[in-house]
Amino acid sequence: MELTWQALAVLALVALAAGFLDTLAGGGGLLTVPALLLAGIPPLQTLGTNKLQGAFGTGMATYQVIRKKRVHWRDVRWPMLWAFLGSAAGAIAVQFIDADSLLVIIPIVLALVAAYFLFVPKSHLPPPKPRMSDPAYEASVVPAIGAYDGAFGPGTGSLFALSGVALRAKPLVQSTAIAKTLNFATNVAALLIFAFAGQMLWIVGGVMIVGQLIGAYIGSHVLFRVNPLVLRVLIVVVSIGMLIRVLTA
């Protein structure tokens, strides 16, 4: 499938915005997936191409947070493995499912994420103590979110950040940083499966990679300077905005 250079330029700009927002609040796929679908790309190729460009954005963010020692490799290597396995399972499963039917998942995920941060008091603040142990969280919640990302993906970063705050009692900024590493693992796993299945538009993905890298680089330098309350508002605004876009598409 060939797109005009104008369409490719728009997708690159969308990817830049997505890389920036994804690094700060998650949900970059909530911009890129609808944009790819609106460009006329079939659902499975949309998901595969989205993983291609998304992997580079989350890869840049992961490199930055580990390089700056905001996240330590020893603390995320096992959760990343669980995320990778969950995503691989989801990406394999979606090859045998009508991808169009998965579109109903977007509004549900968006509504839930926005509602939690909008209506739960101090949702950007962690509870007094963790509600789940590390092993239980890593072996259940992480691969479950990973499977969702492998099968579809939009909102995964927000889900990882949200679960880290609500279940592991981590500050939102730290949880968001950890979410980048987990999202990178899920993107790589899904990318490998979709590439093997031939569901990839390499030129489109390559153009969007440039935007993703720029956006993620800028976002990674802003992340640790942002007030957690601003992140909360950003997550709500992005989620509601994309919910309206999806429902009116």
d(CA 123, CA 164): 12
**For 74-95, how does the pLDDT look when each residue is reduced to its tens digit (9 = 90+)?**
999 999 999 999 999 999 998 8
Q: Are 99 and 43 in contact (CB under 8 A)?
A: yes
**What pTM does this model have?**
0.81
d(CA 26, CA 18): 9
**For the CA atoms of the chain, what is the radius of gyration?**
16
Q: What does the alpha-carbon distance between residue 3 and residue 204 come to, in Å, rounded to a whole number?
A: 8
CA pair distance 240, 249, nearest whole angstrom: 14
15: containing domain: 5-248
**In the chain, how long is the greatest CA-to-CA distance?**
53
Taking only the tens place, the pLDDT of each residue in 199-223 is: 999 999 999 999 999 988 888 787 7
Give how far Cα 63 sits from Cα of 21, 116, 157, 195, 225, Å: 17, 29, 16, 23, 18
Indicate the number of domains in the chain: 1
Tens digit of pLDDT for each residue in 115-137?
A: 766 776 665 678 889 999 999 99
